[in-house]
Each structure stands twice: as C-alpha cells, then as structure tokens.
Amino acid sequence: MIYAANFKTNHTRQSTREYLGRLQPQLIKKHPNDKVYIFPPLTALDDYTSADFTIGAQNAYPVKNGAFTGEVGIEQLAEFNIKTILIGHSERRDILGESQEEVAKKFAFFKEQGFEIIYCIGESLEIREQGIEAVMEHLISQFEGIDTTYENFVVAYEPIWAIGTGRTASVEEITQTHNALKKVVDKPLLYGGSVKGANIAEISAIENVDGVLVGGASLKTETFLELVLH
Ligand code: PEP
C-alpha cells in the first residue's frame, strides 16, 4: 500500500518538521512494503533523508529556472532533493485553472526529468450522477496528452465530490471505477476522498486499491498514523 499525505496550504516549515519528527519513529511499525509520501507546502520542503518516507512537491512549474514570478522550478526542488511531484490535483485544475493541456505539459516535463509522478484524476458530482460510463469518459479525458506508459507514475483517483467533504465514495463505486481504470492504465492506483481511520480498512481491502491519497486526515501525525498502521 501507498499512503500519501497532501497537506495542501496547511502546516508551516516548523510544524512540518515537528510532524515528521513524530512520524519517523512510528514508521518502524509499518509494513516493510508500504510506502509513505508527504506533500507539505513548498515553503516547508527540506532535505529530509529518511528510508521510511518520501517528501514530494504539491506543485512546481515545468522549467529549470527563469522568469516565472511566484513559481518554483526544478532548480529549487533539487536543492532539497525533491524527485516526486503531485500533478493534476482537482484543486489545481478547478481553483487554479490548470487546463488539461497545462497538466500534460507538466507531466511531460517532470517525466523527462525522471520524477516520480502522482497523477490525480477525478469527476464532479454532476458527472458521477450520470453513471459509470460518463465517469469513465471524463476520467479517460484526463489522460489526454499523458504518457501512461511512463514507469515512474502512480494514478490517484479522487472523486471531487468526496474531497474534503466527509463523503467517501462507496465501496461499490470505488471497486467499479478502479476496476475500469486498471483496464485503461495499468499503474498503481490510489483512492482519495475523505479517507480516515473509520474507513481505511474497507477501502484498503478493495481489490485494485493500491493506496490512498489523504488530505484532512493527514494533517495530524496521529490521524495519518491511524491509516498507515491500521
Ligand atoms: C485530497 O485533496 O487529495 C484529499 C483526498 O483530501 P481529503 O482527504 O481531505 O478528502
């Protein structure tokens, strides 16, 4: 299983350091094959050398460096040895206005640099209510311009209506969607959307769920550990 924590715009440099300080000694208890990723805000990136977790960037601009006010490129990430990135999160697509074309450009750039990419896709409630065919059509459209044969890439299926809402997709919905997605892209497949201690057992038991991407429940070390060590 993969356990990925997306802090979004939460935590500071100091609180991230404290969080990781509490997390690290507990990870000795995790299953040796399980992988833990932490995506703190960009200001909290640092060179944390740990065999037990990987730090990734929530976002970056697809350049080495240059005149892109407010952005960071790979030169800034390299300072902290960051080689993992989240691309395509629905908050970046919907709130920050990233188009599929821009998302695909980022993917191609970071692929070229050999980054490990966690690539997010997900549908709105309106699409979900139209049924699985509409859902799959939408999800497949989010692979437009993406090299799905890239070896260093994980997919995170995150129904938008389940993110930060407390409303998790049902076991049936996750099963059906993950089974269909695996036929399209044969990569590790995470589920994201209100994963917490109360539902991790049933979600992680679903065939074709290879891990979880977690927002809210990742913000406290204890609640994230409830998932990793369940
Ligand atoms: C996310 O934004 O990736 C996410 C899954 O958030 P939450 O766990 O809070 O629903």
pLDDT, one tens digit per residue, over 207-225 is 999 999 999 999 999 999 9
What pLDDT sits at residue 14?
Answer: 98
> 227, 195 in Cβ contact below 8 A?
yes
Contact criterion met (CB below 8 Å) for 46 and 54: no
Which residues, 6 or more positions from 164, have their beta carbon under 8 angstroms from its beta carbon?
Answer: 194, 215, 216
What gap in Å lies between CA 202 and CA 43, rounded to an integer?
35
Distance, CA of 203 to CA of 201 (rounded, Å) = 6
User: In sequence order, what are the residues at sequence separation of 6 or more whose Cβ sits closer than 8 angstroms to the Cβ of residue 69?
Assistant: none
Ligand 1 pocket, 192 CB below 6 A? yes
Low-confidence ranges of the chain (pLDDT < 70): none
- 158 CB near ligand 1 (under 6 Å): yes
Q: Which superfamily does 2-228 belong to?
A: Aldolase class I (3.20.20.70)
What amino acid occupies position 225?
L
- Residue 102 CA to residue 111 CA, distance in Å, equals 14
Q: How many CB atoms lie within 10 A of CB 171?
A: 14
Distance separating alpha carbons of residues 228 and 34, to the nearest angstrom: 8
Give catalytic status of residue 202 as yes or no: no
Atom of ligand 1 nearest to the CA of 165: 10
Looking at residue 75, what is its pLDDT? Answer: 98
Catalytic pick among 11, 89, 91, 98: 89
Q: What is the mean pLDDT of the chain?
A: 97
Per-residue pLDDT at 144: 98
User: Active site residue: 91, 98, 158, 178, which one?
Assistant: 158
Alpha-carbon span 92 to 5, nearest angstrom: 16
Residue 135 Cα to ligand 1 middle (Å): 19
pLDDT, residue 84, reads 98
Whether 193 lines ligand 1, by a CB cut-off of 6 Å, is yes
Beta-carbon-side half-sphere exposure of residue 89 (alpha carbons within 13 Å): 24
Which ligand 1 atom is the nearest neighbour of the CA of 156? 3
* Predicted pLDDT of residue 49: 86
Q: Can you tell me whether residue 57 is helix, strand or coil? A: strand
